[in-house]
Amino acid sequence: MSEKFDVDAPTLSRYVMANTKDTELVILLNSLATSFKLIASAVGRAGVAQLYGLAGEVNSTGDDQKKLDVMSNDMMINALVNSGVCSVLVSEENEEPIIVPADKAGKFCVAFDPLDGSSNIDCNVSVGTIFSVYEKKDGSVNDLLRSGADCICAGYCAYSSAVELVFTFQGSSVEGFCLDPTIGEFVHTRVNMKFPSDGGKRIYSCNEGNFVHWDQPIKDAVDAFKNGVGGKPYSARYVGSMVADIHRTLLYGGIYIYPADNKSPKGKLRCLYEGIPMALIIEQAGGIASTGLFNGKVGRVIELTPDAIHCKCPIIMGGPRDVGVVYDCYKKHGVAVPEL
């Protein structure tokens, strides 16, 4: 048999079944994977299919909707509603939660950003999907307004030169799957993903256009990265698509910073379907997912409890080496920080 053909491909379904023995969870991940394949196809054909440009509407958080935003949202909603295992859905593109009809309802609640970074889609920059999963309690939106400690599964899918799905179950490892277009399946390619033990590459990632609005410890930390920590300046890398920036940070090391500031005192990223799922992935890969100074203290993103489905939170994510630099700057200003 040719070595070019894998007769025993380690697929997504096999991994989920082997590690959870939960057939409904297999159905859920398969439904998500189907929507990711559809979105990947739409993103790949965006130019020839004339899918660039605005749809003429704004989403729940006031951002202009792109044509691909609307299409990706519909793809995910249709896949999840018809999976038979979901009861409540929350999307960045919908102001109100979606309650699945009783005859199709199941035990999971899913929050998602169907196309993160879509403001970059017209210039062909990497985009992605982010999701978090909770178990149903009473079948209302309150099932999703819970701490990240109750999130049972979180992940993202990056659409670029390859289509990569990265996800984790609560209390488990972080695993990576790559879409094999020859068989149409996500195949297990990155096992037990971890931050580089030495901190990895010296990279800081943030929107420095907001520098003037940051608190002083964040300014000090970014200046320290630029001027050299341990004698060597860091490189700046900022894509502006959270999935792309976090994926690079997870693989290469470094730090991603999107703090609260004078302009956005609650931060800019959405807690339920951006902050919490990415925090669960980062922490279970051996990293730190901090809020920075938020609501009077420096805490963990995973411990936040959303008070609304589209509420926001600040984010500082990276390995202990680099988040420690930020924490040291807070300490110099008399702010208590958690132990690394």
Return the pLDDT at 50: 52
Active site residue 51: no
Active site residue 63: yes
Question: For 126-157, b where at least 16 C-beta lie within 10 A, e where not — what string?
Answer: bbbbbbbbbebeeeebebbbbebebbbbbbbb
DSSP notation for 144-206: TSS-GGG--EEEEEEESSSEEEEEEETTS-EEEEEEETTTTEEEEEE-S----TT-BS-EEE-
Is residue 24 among the annotated active site residues?
A: no
Q: Considering the candidates 63, 95, 208, 223, report the single residue annotated as catalytic.
A: 63
8 is annotated as an active-site residue: no
Q: Of 12, 25, 32, 69, which is the active-site residue?
A: 69
pLDDT (0 to 100) of residue 61: 57
- Residue-level pLDDT at 1: 41
Catalytic residue among 29, 68, 89, 92: 92
- 116 flagged as catalytic: yes
Give catalytic status of residue 69 as yes or no: yes
Question: Which candidate in 113, 143, 245, 322 is catalytic?
Answer: 113
Measured from the Cβ of residue 189, the count of other Cβ atoms closer than 10 Å reads: 15
Q: Global pTM? A: 0.93
Residue of 29, 68, 80, 115 marked active site: 115
Q: Which residues of 75-93 are buried (b: 16+ CB within 10 A; e: fewer)?
A: bbbebbbebebbbbbbbbb
Residue 74 is predicted with a pLDDT of 95
Looking at 25, 32, 93, 165, which residue is catalytic? 93
Alpha-carbon distance 11 to 180, whole Å? Answer: 10
Residues of the chain with pLDDT under 50: 1, 49
274: annotated active-site residue: yes
In one-letter notation, the amino acid at residue 91 is S
Confirm whether 93 is a catalytic residue: yes
